[in-house]
Structure 1
Amino acid sequence: MKRLIRWALNHIPRPVLQRMASWTVPVMGLFYRGRGVECPLCGSKYRKFLPYGYVRSRANALCPKCLSLERHRLLWLYLTRETDLLTAFPRTLHIAPEVCIMRHLKSHFKSRPGQYLTADLESPLADLHFDVQQIPLEDNSVDVVLCNHILEHVADDRKALRELHRILKPGGWGILLSPVDRDYEQTFEDDSIVDPDERTRIFGQYDHRRIYGQDYIDRLREAGFEAADIDYAAALPEAERLRYALPEDHIYVVYKY
């Protein structure tokens, strides 16, 4: 199973993979029935989650029903417990929307057309299609921005961050997650590495352009944001961390004042 999923991630185009996953992954989940873990997004229970990873497969990662990964489950717990996103109706821009989260937000905002917008460079699931380095929205036009695991892909992440800051209203907030390797003090990037296999070996994924280090939050602040680095999983009871198979990732929340 690990080899099959890893091969698919590295060889099937992302738009095709997104369409295929909705029916192939639940079939795989039939072999994982049990009660060892629970997904907080869909409520499904399995003896463990599916493995997932481009280079090294992470055990206990992918929910077979809603396709949530560890970071999605952690983010969902933060959104539902620590914000008013699911109780109010702030104008929200969700870039590269995680399907497992988008389903809930679309349902929540159904009675408020135009308050929830999804965007992606190419995904057929998104409402808008644009490059995050050049967002076709007016200044100060959204209350909330969700933009996760995108900045490591773009050529000029600083330009993308300035764009996100530009469109966010004063008083607005956002969550900008990226994979951060805390063993690195400084972000590592090298555009001279162009071979896809070599990029996968070095950056962990063929389409990643950098490995963020401890200075990631400084980049968020350079764009004009106030930013908070929250070790949210560590604040949760161990029983929850195990039940939901949560990662050690941090939540990066930004504010515009």
Structure 2
Amino acid sequence: MKKLFKYILNTIPRPLLIKLSYWVRPLITFAMKGTKFTDPIDGKSFRSFLSYGYAINRENALSPSTFSLERHRLLWLYLQRETDFFTKPQKVLHFAPEQAFYKRFRNQKNLDYTTTDLFSPLADVKADICDLPFEDNSFDTILCNHVLEHIPDDTKAMQELYRVLKPNGMAILQIPQDLERDVTFEDDSIVDEKERTKIFGQYDHVRVYGLDYFEKLRSIGFTVKEEAYTTTFSKEEIEKYCLMDGEIIPVCFK
């Protein structure tokens, strides 16, 4: 099943995959139930999670029930335990909404929730992140996770995120990041898709972010908290929730 699932993930276009997943997810959830690993988003447990990855295949990365990845589960736990996201009334803008979050955030009565993306069938507003159709200082919270690595002009995208965030608002801007790399790497001359996947992690990524990502956000105007949140968990919890040990959450404020 794992090999079949990997093949599907790497061949079916993402918008179609999102639609198909609503049909197949209950079957996978039933087939893989167990007690070893737990998805904190819905509390369901499994004997294993699904493998996932393009250039590098990660074992026990994808939850069978919510289709959450390591970053989603870490973000959920952070929002739940460290913020008032689930209790305080607020306007939220969510880029490229993930299935693991979409219905749950939509059903939160305290959230005035707007989703946006150019292609996702889950987006309320079809918009370019570099030219957003929202007024200045519109949103209390912005979630933009694993989007900026796809954007050629990420400086403009960051400026737009800053513009539409309210003063004192919070933006969580997760990206795939090489914590061993000091300086972000990009090279537009690499056009072969297999080579791009090898170097950038996915064929449609345009850069590999290094530790200078946080300083770039600060140069836009954000106050940035580099939240090494996995350090608050025991090794047993990291294994139980299938988190990526050492991942840093960029929590940004205006």
Q: Which amino acid aligns with 1:45?
A: S
2:126 aligned residue (126, 129, 139) = 129
2:185 corresponds to which residue? 188
- Range with greater deviation from structure 2 (231-240 or 152-161): 231-240
C-alpha separation in 1, matches of 2:49 and 2:81: 23
State whether residues 29 and 50 of structure 1, in contact with CA within 8 Å, keep that contact through their aligned partners in structure 2. no
Q: Which amino acid aligns with 2:215?
A: D
TM-score (norm 1): 0.94
C-alpha separation in 1, matches of 2:199 and 2:8: 20
C-alpha separation in 1, matches of 2:91 and 2:11: 36
State whether residues 28 and 65 of structure 2, in contact with CA within 8 Å, keep that contact through their aligned partners in structure 1. no
Q: Which amino acid aligns with 1:125?
A: L
C-alpha separation in 2, matches of 1:10 and 1:50: 14
State whether residues 97 and 126 of structure 1, in contact with CA within 8 Å, keep that contact through their aligned partners in structure 2. yes
1:148 corresponds to which residue? 145
1:65 corresponds to which residue? 65
1:48 corresponds to which residue? 48
C-alpha separation in 2, matches of 1:210 and 1:25: 32
Give the secondary structure class of the aligned counterpart of 2:51.
Answer: strand
Q: Give the number of aligned pairs.
A: 253
**% identical aligned pairs:** 48
- Range with greater deviation from structure 2 (167-176 or 10-19): 10-19
C-alpha separation in 2, matches of 1:107 and 1:6: 31
Where in structure 1 do 4 or more consecutive aligned residues deviate above 4 Å? none
Give the secondary structure class of the aligned counterpart of 1:91.
Answer: strand
C-alpha separation in 2, matches of 1:230 and 1:146: 15
C-alpha separation in 1, matches of 2:197 and 2:137: 37
C-alpha RMSD of matched pairs (Å)? 1.4
C-alpha separation in 2, matches of 1:20 and 1:56: 24
Q: Does 1:158 align with 2:155?
A: yes
For 1:69-96, what per-residue CA distance to the aligned partner results, in whole angstroms no more than 9, with x for missing partners?
1111000000011111100121110111
Q: Which amino acid aligns with 1:165?
A: Y
Structure 1 unaligned residues grouped into runs of 5+: none
TM-score (norm 2): 0.95
